[in-house]
Amino acid sequence: MAVGLSEPANPAPVGGIRLAACSAGIYRKQRLDMVLFEMSRDSGCAAVFTQNAFCAAPVQIARRHLAVIPHPRYLLINAGNANAGTGERGLFDARRTCEYLAEKGGCRPEEVLPFSTGVIGEYLPVDRLCQGVDAMLGRLDEHNWRDCSRAIMTTDTVAKSVSKQVVLDGRQVTLTGIAKGSGMIKPDMATMLAFIATDAQLDHGLMQSMLQQSVNRSFNRITVDGDTSTNDACVLVATGKSGVVIQAGNQERYSLFNAALHEICLDLAQAIIRDGEGASKYLSITVSGGRNSLDCLRTAYAIAESPLVKTACHASDPNWGRILAAVGRAGILDLEIGRVSIQVNDVCIVAKGMRTPEYTEDQGKRAMLQDEIFVTVDLGMGDAEETVWTCDLSAEYIRINAEYRT
């Protein structure tokens, strides 16, 4: 079960966005597995994609199409099949689905961005996707966000969506986002997809910059298992229907919108961690006192991706030596262990590089029994600070991934 996470209320509609979901029969059991976004003409779009060298066919096609036309009309998404590791046929199949939707929707193929998630190495069932396109074109509605958040799920147990509304110069601007992700999560942009829409107006360059900054401080700070997927993508669409223009020159308007965008990304990223495969604990790892951001991130990821730390958290075992060892092997140049301190929730365990005299096993057990565990490490070397979010490692994670294709 997801840690402190339940399916949210209906997300707020975004002017200029209509969407639909359907069951195209990609899964063995009938369930929603396809999504179609229709954007009003001249909507802007920015995207951040996986850094995996084996990026999936839809990632390659979406990148190419967005480079040609940064104002797409449609996003076409399927779950259950990643269309990755499928060579030239995979590219051909992704193009075919774009061409089919373009013909039906009255636009150019380059105005369609495809996205897929699911099993790697299997060919896309193109005929089923085309049938799904026919079904969804007749169902497009601005209120279908909840169904769409469910349709993109794979091993997720809870649909993930969030809406924010901010008043800028007396006019309301809406941002709504959905995401999926539960395992194979370390984005580096995991199997994760995120789609965010707003009725503000932004030029492409500013959109891309703002999205990249928000992704770097949210989706690029989470890890379930240290695996970066072939299919990751985070997309931001701006329709401009609110009439509010976001420009870097208008600092107040820019700052308020940027903060709302970051909150959307962070909420969705943390929801992915709370719904990590087999997760029973939510872990926040903050490392301060680094000479630079890299020192802090290396240390935080060494802790967050340690199987020994993650299994200890799952068992509520206050085996803090595993955290200490992870800090020591993070590769921090000239680390002075006599300056290092470690705290778990409100319990100070290590100070000046050694166990504090006041620490007791009962205190450690009490801290580790919590569903939400906050680990704080101070390296004592500088002013940099970074936070990474992760979850525990359970037998259920192993079962899910051992049986994923069966």
**Which CATH fold topology does 17-274 show?**
L-amino peptidase D-ALA esterase/amidase (3.60.70)
Predicted confidence (pLDDT) at residue 405 exceeds the cutoff of 90: no
> For residues 10 and 146, which has the higher predicted lDDT (pLDDT)?
146
Count of positions (residues) in the chain: 406
Q: Which residues are CB-neighbours of 19 under 8 A, at least 6 positions away?
A: 35, 36, 37, 38, 140, 141, 142, 144, 145, 148
Give the model's pLDDT for residue 403. 86
- Report the distance separating Cα 59 and Cα 233, nearest Å: 8
Give the model's pLDDT for residue 255. 96
Give the model's pLDDT for residue 184. 86
Q: What is the mean pLDDT of residues 200-225?
A: 95
Give the model's pLDDT for residue 20. 98
- Report the distance separating Cα 390 and Cα 269, nearest Å: 10
Q: How much is the mean pLDDT over the chain?
A: 95
Predicted confidence (pLDDT) at residue 208 exceeds the cutoff of 60: yes
From 117, 191, 239, 299, active-site residue:
191
Q: What is the mean pLDDT of residues 168-183?
A: 95
Percentage of the chain modeled with pLDDT above 70: 99
**231-246 pLDDT tens trace:** 999 999 999 999 999 9
Predicted confidence (pLDDT) at residue 320 exceeds the cutoff of 70: yes
Q: Which residues are CB-neighbours of 48 under 8 A, at least 6 positions away?
A: 189, 211, 212, 215, 219, 233, 234
Which amino acid would we find at residue 18? R
Domain ranges of the chain: 17-274, 282-402
- Report the distance separating Cα 181 and Cα 230, nearest Å: 13
**363-393 pLDDT tens trace:** 999 999 999 999 999 999 999 999 999 999 9
**344-361 pLDDT tens trace:** 999 999 999 999 999 999
Q: What is the mean pLDDT of residues 292-311?
A: 97
Predicted confidence (pLDDT) at residue 85 exceeds the cutoff of 80: yes
Q: Which residues are CB-neighbours of 402 under 8 A, at least 6 positions away?
A: none
Give the model's pLDDT for residue 1. 67
Active-site residue, 154 included: no
Give the model's pLDDT for residue 188. 75
Contact 323, 342 (CB under 8 A): yes
- Report the distance separating Cα 359 and Cα 368, nearest Å: 14
| Beta pairing class for 372-378 and 282-290 | parallel
Q: What is the mean pLDDT of residues 309-317?
A: 97
Q: What is the 3-state secondary structure (H, E, C) of 201-246?
A: ECCHHHHHHHHHHHHHCCHHHECCCCCCCCCCEEEEEECCCCCCEC
Give the model's pLDDT for residue 191. 56
DSSP class of residue 350? Answer: E
Predicted confidence (pLDDT) at residue 189 exceeds the cutoff of 80: no
Tell me if the pTM is above 0.75.
yes
The count of other CB atoms within 10 Å of the CB of residue 247 is 12
- Report the distance separating Cα 206 and Cα 229, nearest Å: 27
pLDDT band at 190 (very low <50, low <70, confident <90, very high): very low
**11-41 pLDDT tens trace:** 999 999 999 999 999 998 899 999 999 999 9
> Out of 3.90.1300.10, 3.30.428.10, 3.20.20.30, 3.10.20.340, which CATH number does the structure's domain 282-402 have?
3.10.20.340
